[in-house]
Amino acid sequence: MQPIASVSKTVVGLALLKAQELGLLNLDAPVNKYLLFPVVNPAFPDVPITLRHLATHTSGIRDNDFYLSKNYYLRPGQDVQGSLAFEDMQTFIPADSVVSLAVFLHNVLTPTGKWYQAKGFLARRPGALYDYSNVGTSLAAYVVELASKQPFPTFKARYLTRPLHMRASGWRFADVAFVRHARLYASPAVPLPYYEQATYPDGGVRSSIADLSK
């Protein structure tokens, strides 16, 4: 098994639809109806961002500098010296420095957050322009978590992986048989360390070919 990266967003989309089917949320409702902190585009403070905007990458939420530097963290117990560059921008941080999804989103998306940047929002009306957003996807998953009153991985397991008997899939190393996990490489001679993400919903699913085909 290995990380399936942004294909993980398919799982978030399914979770949103399932949550709406269960009557837990409405895709056209403002996200602030469900959140514990307000998320507002500073250029359009009176225009609500909806779940549909998040799902279709039209929310105007962008991945700011701190998404690239505070998001990928090392699996404990690896012999790695310092932080390692990833794709020339992202860096790995120690496991003891990780924050929860809720804390990360609050700090990136609200003006009182320590990682907030105005450029984290497009100067375009929500719903007007497609702009790919990892943070927006993770915010959608967090809404599912709040609306369902259960951790997002628990919701996903209950309504997706268990019914489909996807026994080799999970968000965290703790959810899967690590001995079966593939080793990733930056180049043929340079292995990447094992890592997870604070914003795990946008790219953290680990799965096998057999499971993913289901």
Question: What is the CATH classification number for the domain harbouring 103?
Answer: 3.40.710.10
Buried b (16+ CB within 10 A) or exposed e, 99-123: bebeebbbbbbbeebebbeeebbbe
Residue 78 CA to residue 195 CA, distance in Å, equals 10
Among residues 8, 6, 15, the alpha carbon closest in space to that of 143 is found at: 15
**Whether 105 contacts 38, CB under 8 Å:** no
Instruction: Name the 3-class secondary structure at 74.
Output: strand
For the whole prediction, is pTM greater than 0.95? no
φ and ψ of 196, to 5 deg: -125, 180
Domain count, the chain: 1
Which structure tokens are listed for 144? 């599912």
Buried b (16+ CB within 10 A) or exposed e, 153-174: bebbbebbbeeeebebbbbeee
Q: Give the end-to-end CA distance of the chain in Å, rounded to a whole number.
A: 14
Which structure tokens are listed for 196? 């997870």
- Which residues neighbour 188 within 8 Å (Cβ) at sequence distance 6 or greater? none
- Amino acid identity for residue 4 in this structure: I
- Which residues neighbour 78 within 8 Å (Cβ) at sequence distance 6 or greater? 193, 194
Residue 157: domain span? 2-213
**Whether 178 contacts 153, CB under 8 Å:** no
Q: Give the up-direction half-sphere exposure of residue 183: CA atoms within 13 A in the CB hemisphere.
A: 8
Q: What is the pLDDT along the chain (214 residues), one digit of tens a residue?
A: 999 999 999 999 999 999 999 999 999 999 999 999 999 999 999 999 999 999 999 999 999 888 877 888 888 877 665 445 555 556 777 777 778 999 999 999 999 999 999 899 999 999 999 999 999 999 999 999 999 999 999 999 999 999 999 999 999 888 899 999 998 887 787 778 888 899 999 999 999 999 999 9
